Each structure stands twice: as C-alpha cells, then as structure tokens.
Amino acid sequence: MVTFSVSKVLTTPFDRQKPGTSGLHKKVKVFVKPHYLHNFVQSTFNALSAENVRGPTLVVSGDGQYLSKEAIQGSKATGAFILSASHNFGGPNEQQRNIRTRALREWQEYEEALKMKDLGRALRFLKSVESSIEPLNGSSQPPFEDLSLYTSNDDRDWEVLDTCLNADDMKLVASAYSFLKDKGFLPHFSRFRNIVLEGPREVTPRVLKSSTGLDVSRFSPKKWGLSGNSAAVLAAFLGGVSFLLSRGIDIRPNLAILLGLAFLDSIFLGGCCVAQISSYWPPQRRRILVHEAGHLLVAYLIGCPIRGVILDPIVAMQMGIQGQAGTQFWDEKMDKELAKGHLSGTAFDRYCMVLFAGIAAEALIYGEAEGGENDENLFRSICVLLDPPLSIAQMSNQARWSVLQSYNLLKWYKHAHLAVVKALERGSSLSTVIRGIEGSMSSQK
C-alpha cells in the first residue's frame, strides 16, 4: 500500500477561484503563480462534505485527448481533474497572444493566396514571416513554433511554387526559387549553373555516337507517321480502312470529313486537337512525360526557374505554347542580354541545353527521339537573332553539343529524371515534382 506524507502549504486565496468547468479559466500569468494549483485542488475538497471526500477516487487527466473517458469511467471514479490550457491560447503575456493570433490570421491569408494562385501575395507573406521570427523574452524558441504555425520544414513554404504558373512576372517566379533556396529547401537548384561540363566544343556525329552509342539521326525529331509510335498508328489506321473497304463498307465520305477537320486543326489550331487525342494513348503520353521531365530537370539543375509544366495540348495552345506540351522556364541572364541586343556564349549554351533536354531524354530512355520539332524551330529562331548569326554548320554543332551535355546530365541523374516522370504521371503539383527531385538527388549521393 502506498502511503503519503501530509504537508501544509501556506497560500493566499485567488479571486473567484472555484471548482467547475472554468476553474482554471485564468490568464497564464495568473495560474503560473505559486500555489495556484494547490488552492484550486483545496477549493474542490472544500466544496465537498467530509463523507464525500473520504474513500472516493479522483482521476487527474488531460483534456480528452488521452482516453480520459475510459480512465474516469473505467476506474469508477467519483470525479476527475481535467487539465487543459486550450482556452489560454497565446502564452503568458499579451505580446505572445497578439503575435500568435496575428500569425493564425496571416496563415489563413496565405492559404487564400495559394488557393487564388497569387504568387506575389503568397511570397510577400512568407518573407514577412521570415523577418518576424524572433524569440520573445530571451527565449530561444520562436513565438509560435510550438503551434506548428511556422517551422523550417513547413510544407506550406513549398506550396508557393504551385502559384508560379499563373504569374505573369517571371522575376517574381525567380524570387520564389531564390527564397526557398536561401532557406535551404532547394540545395540542388542551380547546382551546375557555373560549371562547364567536360568534353570538346566541337561535337561531330562520330563524337556524339562514341559518347552516347547512338547515331546522330536518333536525336532528330521524327515527322508524324514516319517512325516510332506514330508509324504504328498510321499503319493500323490504313490497315483498318483497307479492311473496311474490302468488306464493301464505303467510309470515304466520312474519311474525307475527318481529313478535312485534321487539316483545319493543323492550320488554325496548330494540331492541338489531334495532339489532344493522341496524348490519351498510354505509350505516347509516357513519351511526352519523359520529354518534358528532361526539360524540367536540366532547367532546374542549371538554375533556370520553372514556371510550370503544361501537359494538355489545348491549354498549351491557349498559353501560346507550340506542340503537345511545354515546360516554361526562364533564364534571367539571357533575358537581360537579349534586351541589350547581345547574347553571350554562356547564356546561349545554358538555354540550348534546356531546349534540347527533351530530345536527349527521349534518346536516353527509348534509344531515339520522336518529339522536339518545336524545340528545334525555337533554336533556329534564336540563332537568327545572334550577331553575327550562326552558319548552318555552327548551328548543327551547337545542337549536337547541347544535346550531348543534356544527355550526360540526365544520365548522371537518371533517378531524379525518373522521379519527375512518375510525379508528372500522377498529376502532381510543381512543388511535389521539385521535392521529388531534391529527395532523389539527396538519396543518390
């Protein structure tokens, strides 16, 4: 049997202290005073008669989170002390209460900014919170860290990337990446920004084959219906038409209508309707994901902020993107140099690496590239802007050099590329894709 020694504690009464549901409903600075709990417990016993006090069991428990009901009823207790500070939110002084209340309100505003895809508003909030995280009263703990409103690993910081797609100002997108990198979230972003990859500047078809094991023709985008999946689709279509005609089923009027619609689609909509239909075919969709994942990963590693990835051909058309899909990235250095009418070799190299990364990704995974025709067209349009413009031979060499650098980079970090493909396949948000890159890169060390 457990025995306890009885000791007397001399205290002074607290105003309006009484047992009941609001017995401790006092401000923190009141109930932390000496012997407040002693007075409260004694006031409970004083409210009971001697007969009710002698023998019964009282349970001391929390505020319902830890099986309080089972503990009280299971022991057939007469009563219980339910200890809770839930109505003392905010801390022992007005300063902490005001800060924490404001923090909750501001985080709600941040959630609203995320919902509205307002990058500027969301980023302003994160920066203001970062600058206001200061301990109070000499404490080493931030004023609302214990409430999980803000921690260095808060998932909500990442979510600011999901608002980038709606941002018109690419400098604002770059600020979001810089903010997260400064906080330590993006250690691998711009990892290869200032690194010149090994290898000769002159990349002949023979050098390209010796480095990759693939002929230069394997890196050339294919015209639809001439090779790969599209050739199989075309062959199946023509075979089906031939079979129906052999059975006496004349589908030529309907076929003429379909061909006419396809022609109008290619002229006025850039072929987005046909692309939309073909993108539902699993092998073709997978190839598109591999292609765009290549763009995204290389852009990320060399430090180009990514606005978003568009996988819907119709949405891509509405946003002015040519092709079935598109990865939107930005190179601040190249943008500034183009505005001045001058483009350095370094900026041009970086841009070309991202541009040809989709072709390199397809060649790495499938052994040849089918997509990328629009990437090549964009490359040629940039080459024309150079002063002096590149010759045909120089353009070909630059293309081979760029695709080789991207191919090697994707080969070195194949696990990260696969992580991006899987994330895009699941329809994950941009923040989830970027986190997948960081997780894969960290585990690959």
pLDDT at 23: 52
Which of 61-65, 85-89, 346-350, 360-364 ranks highest by mean pLDDT? 360-364
pLDDT at 323: 52
pLDDT of 269 > 70? The answer is no
Overall domain count for the chain: 3
Stronger pLDDT, 166 or 245, i.e. the higher one: 166
Which of the four pLDDT bands, split at 50, 70 and 90, describes residue 326?
A: confident
Q: What are phi and psi of 173, to 5 degrees?
A: -60, -45
- Are 334 and 375 members of one domain? yes
Stronger pLDDT, 238 or 344, i.e. the higher one: 344
- Are 72 and 114 members of one domain? no
Does 337 fall in a domain? yes
Stronger pLDDT, 43 or 96, i.e. the higher one: 43
Strand partners, 60: 81
- Are 62 and 210 members of one domain? no
Over the chain, what is the mean pLDDT?
75
Q: Which of 47-51, 66-70, 252-256, 411-415 has the lowest mean pLDDT?
A: 252-256
Helices (H), 302-391: 313-318, 332-339, 345-355, 357-366, 373-385
**pLDDT per position as a tens digit, 147-173:** 444 444 467 789 999 999 888 888 999
pLDDT of 421 > 70? The answer is yes
Say if strands 306-310 and 79-82 run parallel, antiparallel, or are unpaired. Answer: unpaired
Q: Which of 89-103, 104-118, 285-299, 409-423 has the lowest mean pLDDT?
A: 89-103
CATH label of the domain that carries residue 380? 1.20.58.760
Q: What are the respective helix, strand and coil percentages of the chain, to the nearest 5?
A: 60, 5, 35
Q: CA-based angle 367:372:374, to the nearest 5?
A: 170
pLDDT of 395 > 80? The answer is yes
pLDDT of 382 > 90? The answer is no
Stronger pLDDT, 216 or 198, i.e. the higher one: 216
Q: Which of 274-278, 288-292, 413-417 has the lowest mean pLDDT?
A: 274-278
Q: Which of 150-164, 240-254, 275-289 has the lowest mean pLDDT?
A: 240-254
Domain that holds residue 127: 94-169
Among the three residues 88, 115, 136, which one is the final residue of a domain in this structure?
88
pTM here is 0.66
Does 271 fall in a domain? no
Among the three residues 88, 109, 131, which one is the final residue of a domain in this structure?
88
- Are 392 and 341 members of one domain? yes
Q: Which of 315-319, 361-365, 366-370, 401-405 has the lowest mean pLDDT?
A: 315-319
Which of the four pLDDT bands, split at 50, 70 and 90, describes residue 182?
A: very high
Report yes or no: 150 and 133 within 8 Å, Cβ to Cβ: yes
Does 126 fall in a domain? yes
- Are 81 and 99 members of one domain? no
Which one, of 443, 363, 441, lies nearest residue 402 by Cα? 363
Which of the four pLDDT bands, split at 50, 70 and 90, describes residue 40?
A: confident
Stronger pLDDT, 163 or 142, i.e. the higher one: 163
pLDDT of 3 > 50? The answer is yes
Stronger pLDDT, 311 or 430, i.e. the higher one: 430
Say if strands 306-310 and 326-329 run parallel, antiparallel, or are unpaired. Answer: antiparallel
Average pLDDT score over residue span 310-324: 55
Helices (H), 20-165: 28-31, 36-46, 50-53, 68-74, 94-115, 119-132, 155-158
pLDDT at 83: 66
Q: Three-class SS of residue 203?
A: coil
pLDDT of 301 > 90? The answer is yes
- Are 159 and 44 members of one domain? no
User: Residue type at 428?
Assistant: S
Which of the four pLDDT bands, split at 50, 70 and 90, describes residue 270?
A: very low
- Are 99 and 40 members of one domain? no
Between the alpha carbon of residue 183 and those of residues 104, 126, 153, 173, 409, the distances in Å are: 22, 11, 9, 16, 26
Does 264 fall in a domain? no
